[in-house]
Amino acid sequence: MENPITSKKLKTIEEAMSLIKSGDRILVSGFGNSGDPKQLVAALSKQPIKDLTIISNDLGSPGIGLGALLTAGMVKKLIGNYYNWNPEVAEAFNAGKIDVELVPQGSFAEGIRAAGVGVAAFYTPTAAGTELSKGKDEREFNGRKYILQEAIKADVALISAAKSDTLGNLVYHKTARNFNPLMAMAAELVIAEVGEIVPAGTFDPECIATPHIFVDVLVRRG
Amino acid sequence: MFQMDEESAKIRIVKRIAREFMEMSAEKNLFVNLGVGTPTMVADYVKSDNVFLQAENGMLGVGPAAEPGKEDPLLINAGRVKVTETSGCAYFDSATSFGMIRGGHIDATVIGAFEVDQEGNVANWIIPNGKQLGVGGAMDLVAGAKKVYIAMPHTNKKGQPKLVEKCALPITGYGEVDVVVTEYALFRFKEGKMVLEEIAPEITLDELKEVTAAEFVVSENLGVLAE
Structural domain spans, chain B: 6-221
The predicted-structure confidence for A19-61, as pLDDT tens digits, reads as follows 999 999 999 999 999 999 999 999 999 999 999 999 999 999 9
**A187 in Cβ contact with A53 (< 8 Å):** no
| Residue B176 bears catalytic tag | no
A·B CB contacts under 8 A = 142
Helices (H), B46-137: 94-102
Given pLDDT bands bounded at 50, 70 and 90, which one contains residue B181?
very high
A197 contact partners, CB below 8 Å, separation of at least 6: A4, A5, A6, A7, A10, A163, A164, A165, A166, A218, A220
- pLDDT confidence of residue A3: 57
Rounded CA gap, A58 and A86, in Å? 8
Contacts of A90 in chain B (CB under 8 A): 130-133
Q: What is the pLDDT of residue A182?
A: 98
Judge whether residue B227 has pLDDT over 90. no
**Domain A13-103+152-220 grouped into CATH 3.40.1080.10:** yes
A8 in helix, strand or coil?
Answer: coil
Taking residues A77-81, what's their average pLDDT?
98
Range B6-221 classified under CATH 3.40.1080.10: yes
Say if residues B161 and B213 touch (Cβ distance below 8 Å): yes
Interface of A with B in 168-207 (CB under 8 A): 172-182
Q: What integer pLDDT is reported at residue A46 of this predicted model?
A: 97
At residue B182 the predicted structure's pLDDT band, cuts being 50, 70 and 90, is very high
- Taking only the tens place, the pLDDT of each residue in A81-93 is 999 999 999 999 9
ipTM surpassing 0.90 = yes
Q: Say which of B80, B95, B132 has its CB closest to residue A182.
A: B95
Helix (H, G, I), strand (E, B) or coil at A205: helix
pLDDT of res. A68: 96
Asked if B163 contacts B212 with a C-beta cutoff of 8 angstroms, the reply is yes
A198 contact partners, CB below 8 Å, separation of at least 6: A5, A163, A164, A165, A166
Partner B contacted by A33 (CB < 8 A): yes
Cβ neighbours, 10 Å, residue A197:
21
d(CA A120, CA B26): 43
Residue A4 banded pLDDT, cuts 50, 70, 90: confident
Alpha-carbon distance A159 to nearest alpha carbon in chain B (angstroms): 13
> Mind listing the pLDDT tens digit for each residue in B27-62?
999 999 999 899 999 999 999 999 999 999 999 999
- Determine phi and psi for B198, rounding to 5 degrees: -140, 140
- φ, ψ dihedrals at A212, nearest 5°: -65, -15
Q: Do A102 and B134 touch (CB under 8 A)?
A: yes
SS3 A112: helix
